[in-house]
Amino acid sequence: MKNNGLGKVMGILLLCLLTAMPSTAQTYRLQQLKDSALHNNIAIRNAKYGIEAAQQQRKEAFTKYFPNISGTGLWFNANKGMAQMDINLSEQVSPELAAALAQMLPPEALAALANPMSISMMKNGTVAGITATQPVFAGGQIVNGNKLAKIGEEAAELQLQLSENEVEKTVEQYFWQLVSMQEKLKTIAAVDTLLADIHKDVEVAVRAGVAMRNDLLQVQLRRNDLESQKAKLQNGLSIVKLLLGQYCGLTNDDHFDIVPPDMELQNQTLPIFDAEGAGVPLLAEYQLLQKQVEATKLQKQMTVGENLPTVAVGAGYNYHNLLENNRTFGMVFATVSIPISNWWGGSHAIKRKKIEHQKAIEEQQDKSELLKIRMRNAWNNVTESFRQMEIAQSSIEQAEENLRLNRNYYKAGTSKMSDLLEAQLLYQQAHDGYVEAFANYQNRLLEYRQASPMAFSREK
């Protein structure tokens, strides 16, 4: 009994211990976050829906190549026959035939022939039929319509690429913002440790009477300022995690960590400069402009086709009982439709489509130049941010040396506490500046990669 009681107590303690232990947070690399966002983000799903809709439209256009099959049925019951006529046989019989009939027929029959007769047909009936019509010539509308649907599908796929680029850019912005905050927290922790050491040294000096208490208060104020910065960064870190988690479709909200990247300057290199703009035709934006030119050209051809004659052939099978007997028959037919009254307005529609096509051509030329300018600007931003990163690295080295000297000067009594704290502040700012410069460089690299994919493909 004692053993059982002890076992229950140990089981309860173990359960409490496991419950109290913090769960291990899931860690993500940058590429994992991008993959998650590309899979879960609403913008990507909407773009994929657009592709599916364009595919269905293309399949719908393809059905126009096949015969158009239709069935009709009609049942009616009129208040009187739709075909009525009066027949007077006496007016239709010649004198010779009348004499012959007088010898053959009784007088009652002859009298009936002399009176007019009323005939009524098709008072009620049923009509049904099925026909198949195959277009032979439609002015190119069917062919061009299928080409236009295909272009629509390709344009939807290019829109997906643009959505993926935007999602990738947003994820990287959140990611490097998170990295920047985490690194700044590390810097604050390192600076706080440094200030704690200074605080101990000053405390000893104050007790020994070789330093003023005001120096001790200055150090404490600076540590308080660090605590305030730390609280703001932790709050911002939590919000950015929530935003990144929501954007990537993570189910653990902000309870995750990121794998810290390698932030050493010597491991960073500049990409190849695409001086000739060879990567511009590879851009989804450029290809969309090209698809717009092709689409307006096809729309113009379709408008021309709407004003041309259309030819079709067909076959049908029909049934009716209009003459009180069931009748079925088959038939073949051919139709020619000429839109004569549309030619006047159609000529203006064709001219309008020509103008839209020319407008698309000129817009492609203009925006192609803007894409080249965007690529050059992205390259300038990359080189500028790389230079800023080099400067920030040099500032760290200078700030570390400045802090070391001022600490030695203060210990030697040849420098004031304000000088030492100023050196400490410059040290912190130099580290924060490098973190911001590094994060900015990574964002600029992505912008250049999206503006000039050729430069990165050459690297590989």
Quick check: 297 and 361 in contact, CB under 8 A? Answer: no
pLDDT of 16: 43
Dist. CA 349–CA 339, nearest whole Å: 14
pLDDT above 90 coverage of the chain, percent: 57
Q: How confident is the model at residue 266, as a pLDDT? A: 82
Given a cut of 70, whether residue 117 has pLDDT beyond it is: no
The answer to whether the CB of 286 falls within 8 A of the CB of 374 is: no
Residue type, 400: E
Is residue 215 within 8 A of residue 419, CB to CB? The reply is: no
The amino acid at 42: I
Position 319 pLDDT exceeds 60: yes
Rounded to a whole number, what is the largest CA-CA distance in the chain?
A: 166
Instruction: Show the tokens assigned to 194.
Output: 């440094």
Q: Specify the pLDDT at position 459.
A: 45
pTM above 0.75, yes or no: yes
All residues at 6 or more sequence positions from 430 whose CB lies less than 8 Å from its CB, including other chains: 392, 395, 396, 398, 399, 400
Alpha helices in 270-342 (DSSP H): 284-306
pLDDT value of position 19: 43
pLDDT at 369 over 90: yes
CA 320 → CA 324, 330, 332, distances in Å? 9, 12, 17
The pLDDT of residue 313 is 94
Residue 352 CB neighbour total at 10 angstroms:
13
For the ranges 6-10, 57-61, 63-67, 313-317, the lowest mean pLDDT is seen at 6-10
Q: What is the band of 221 on the pLDDT scale with cuts at 50, 70, 90? A: very high
Is the pLDDT reported for residue 404 higher than 80?
yes
What's the CA gap between 280 and 284, in Å, rounded? 9
Distance of CA 314 to the CA centre of its chain: 44
**Domains of the chain by range and CATH?**
23-70+137-311+339-459 (1.20.1600.10)
Average pLDDT over residues 69-95: 76
Residue pair 120/82 in contact (Cβ under 8 Å)? The answer is: no
Per residue in 405-433, pLDDT (tens digit) is 999 998 888 888 899 999 999 999 999 99
Q: What is the rounded CA–CA span in Å between residue 233 and residue 428?
A: 14
Backbone φ and ψ of 24, nearest 5°: -70, 125
Phi and psi torsions of 203, nearest 5°? -60, -45
Model confidence at 458: pLDDT above 50:
no
- When pLDDT is averaged across residues 170-188 and rounded to a whole number, the result is 94
Give the contacts of 214 (CB within 8 A, at least 6 positions apart).
417
Supply the pLDDT for residue 62: 93
* Separation between Cα atoms, residue 240 and residue 177, nearest integer Å: 8
Helix (H) or strand (E) holding 103: helix 95-104
Higher pLDDT, 14 or 437: 437
**Average pLDDT over every residue of 346-365:** 93
Reported as a single tens digit per residue, the pLDDT across 5-48 is: 544 444 444 444 434 444 466 899 999 999 999 998 888 999 99
Q: Give the integer Cα–Cα distance in Å for 46 and 381.
A: 32
Tell me which of 309 and 9 has the higher pLDDT.
309
SS3 320: strand
Number of Cβ atoms within 10 Å of the Cβ of 443: 18
Average pLDDT, the chain: 86
pLDDT in tens, 122-143: 778 899 999 999 999 888 899 9
pLDDT tens-digit readout, 257-270: 888 888 888 888 88
**CA dihedral for 418, 424, 425, 430, sign (positive or negative):** positive
E strands within 29-176?
Answer: 68-77, 83-87, 117-121, 124-137
- pLDDT of 235: 95
